[in-house]
Structure 1
Amino acid sequence: MDVTVGTFNLNNLFSRFNFLAEIDNVHPTGPDGALTSSYIFDDPKKVRIRTYKGKLVKGKDPEAQKVIAKRIRDMDLDVLAVQEVEDIDTLRFFVARHLGQTYPFLSLIEGNDPRLIDLAVLSKFPVGAVTSWQHAVHPDVPGERVFSRDLLEVQILDPRDSDQHLLTVFNNHLKSQFVDRDTDPEEGKRLADERRTRQAEIIARIVGARTRPDGRFIVLGDMNDTPDAPTLAGLAEPSSQLTLIQALVHPQETRPPKADDPPPPASGAWTHRFKESGQAAKYELFDQIWLSKSLATRHKSSHIDRRTRHGGDGSDHDPAWVVLDL
């Protein structure tokens, strides 16, 4: 049985609501189920506008939602780990509206990010235990949560026998490389790299403790750095507890990349493009899939859904996935 597992940063999948409010009485609806009355939220004790750093949190553009939904439908994966989703209701609404009954099993646990972007897993297969590691700490800073968002562990069950474990997915979204304008650039980069390094080390420690050397598991997500970066050494370097194999070395692209100068990497191993004003564009493999040794022997192919525009199609990340023979 071929099983497809992938990752996709949905780029701020927020709902179309940007406020919280209480309504004492809901007026009756019309015969077609539509509301016949309007509500004015003018009591500050009952209304809280959702903002971040002084800016109103707005829903993701409906057209952009349609684009990312089409990309998901076209990939038609069995299991998809996603990042940057506001909450479980937003995910349910998005899936119901755009993906129909494709993914009956959804998992999302609110994480640590102050921007309210969480990790989630969409699955065609039954889901078992779901574990959040958002409270994990690094021994160098025991009083602070190490994950900016979370490490979400999801057990995927065998659709042929839901009593049997098929594989475990560890979904990630590591510390961004973004540095606030009010922060010294060099110091900001040093702190971000340090945080990402600690996150990778704790991921390796948790995954090593939660799995067997011959187990079927995948570590994937938006790592916000390249697979060979020093910050990700905790994942890339084998240890007595854990060996991971990077699956996106020579992925197949769904379409040729858009022309650029200099051109994108010939290997096709990139999912993120960043162009600073006056500088050449950087193409990097931020979205990664790391396989356990057991799954690496069952790895048939790797794929990236290539964007049609430099800025991206609904997201500034391209989704990636693997085909496994299970």
Structure 2
Amino acid sequence: MQIKVGTFNLNNLFSRFNFAGAIDRPPSVSDGGITLTFDENSVQVRTFMGRLVKEKDPEDTVTIARRIVEALDVDVLGVQEVEHREILRQFNRDYLGGAYDEIALIEGNDPRLIDVGLLSRLPVGAITSYQTATHPAEPGKRVFGRDLVRIEILGPDHEPLLAVYNTHMKSHYVPFHMDPVAGAAEANERRRRQAEAIGAIIAATEGPDSRFVLLGDMNDPPASPFLAPMLAFAGGTLVNGLTEAQETRPAKPETPGQGPGPASVNWTHRFNPPGPEFPQYEQYDQIWLSPALAPHLAGAFIDRRTRHGGDGSDHDPAWVVLDL
């Protein structure tokens, strides 16, 4: 059988519900509708770094949904930056037309409540969260700022097909109050420790014949030395599934005077730094295949944005086609 497995950072898929309330019993409905009134003590406004946390723009939500349905059309989709399971369920129901039968999401560690999750047309088996994993350098602190999850994907007859590891690693963001050089070094070190933790987990869980995928928003290019520790285990070295990826459309040309644009098709994230520097193109969104799964790779794709800022997300989704 042929299956398609993808990854997409949905860029702050938050719900529109931003309050807390409680009722003692179900209200009586006689006129077809109800009105719930909350006093000021029952309203909870959520902020992050001084800004109100609001729902994702509806137009952007429609756009990412259209990309998933029309461009990707994958069987298994690992997603990042999703607030909770219910908003992912609603997104699948209201925007994807219920395209996916299985929805998996476990609340992680992020203070902004952005989690990693999965949508699947195929049956799902065991789901394991490694959010409590630590690193030897700081054994009292969780190493993953979000999570690493392992999800078993089953065939139509519920036989094991492969496992999907999904993660969202430390970003390059440095708070304004920190020294930029020291802050960047700290972020890189955190990412390296996360990669070492991922490598250790894979080594302890998977064997030479294991068929699995490691995907997600790695926040570093594939050749980064900070990611290297997660790529080798006792069963061999993971294979970059997107090396020969094809674009669904060419990249939008850069504005004159803003540089030559991407050097290759192998990018999913564009960052336009302030000042005279040219925009930077990197393949942050990655799909790594285990040595036992790599020979089954039949194709790889990246859905290219039509706007420099991104179409509904600042990341472009990617996917691979596997013949199993």
Interval of TM-score (by shorter of Structure 1 and Structure 2): over 0.9
CA distance in 1: counterparts of 2:49 and 2:23, whole angstroms: 27
| Correspondence for 2:92 | 95
CA distance in 1: counterparts of 2:124 and 2:215, whole angstroms: 17
Assess if the C-alpha contact under 8 Å between 2:153 and 2:164 holds in 1.
yes
Residue 172 of structure 2 aligns to a residue whose secondary structure is coil
| Correspondence for 2:109 | 112
| Correspondence for 1:196 | 191
CA distance in 1: counterparts of 2:309 and 2:126, whole angstroms: 37
| Correspondence for 2:46 | 50
| Correspondence for 1:284 | 282
Worse-matched range after superposition: 265-274 or 108-117: 265-274
CA distance in 2: counterparts of 1:30 and 1:317, whole angstroms: 47
CA distance in 2: counterparts of 1:89 and 1:63, whole angstroms: 20
CA distance in 2: counterparts of 1:200 and 1:208, whole angstroms: 12
| Correspondence for 2:33 | 34
Residue 34 of structure 1 aligns to which amino acid in structure 2? G
57, 64, 69: which one aligns with 2:60:
64
Is 1:73 aligned to residue 69 of structure 2?
yes
Gapped regions of structure 1 (runs ≥ 5): none
Assess if the C-alpha contact under 8 Å between 1:18 and 1:56 holds in 2.
no
Residue 116 of structure 1 aligns to which amino acid in structure 2? L
CA distance in 2: counterparts of 1:143 and 1:306, whole angstroms: 41
Assess if the C-alpha contact under 8 Å between 1:85 and 1:117 holds in 2.
yes
Residue 292 of structure 2 aligns to a residue whose secondary structure is helix
Gapped regions of structure 2 (runs ≥ 5): none
Shift of 1:101: 2.4
| Correspondence for 1:208 | 203
Is 1:270 aligned to residue 267 of structure 2?
yes
Aligned residues: 319
CA deviation profile, 1:146-193 (whole Å, cap 9, x unmatched): 00100011000012x11x100000001000100000111011111100
CA distance in 1: counterparts of 2:52 and 2:147, whole angstroms: 24
Is 1:173 aligned to residue 168 of structure 2?
yes
Q: TM-score, normalised by structure 2?
A: 0.95
Residue 15 of structure 1 aligns to a residue whose secondary structure is coil
CA distance in 2: counterparts of 1:157 and 1:230, whole angstroms: 34
- RMSD between aligned residues: 1.4
CA distance in 1: counterparts of 2:282 and 2:260, whole angstroms: 12
Q: TM-score, normalised by structure 1?
A: 0.94
292, 295, 319: which one aligns with 2:293:
295
Residue 68 of structure 1 aligns to a residue whose secondary structure is helix
Shift of 1:51: 1.9
Assess if the C-alpha contact under 8 Å between 2:108 and 2:115 holds in 1.
yes
Shift of 1:27: 4.3
Assess if the C-alpha contact under 8 Å between 2:106 and 2:129 holds in 1.
yes
CA distance in 1: counterparts of 2:98 and 2:17, whole angstroms: 24
Residue 61 of structure 2 aligns to which amino acid in structure 1? Q
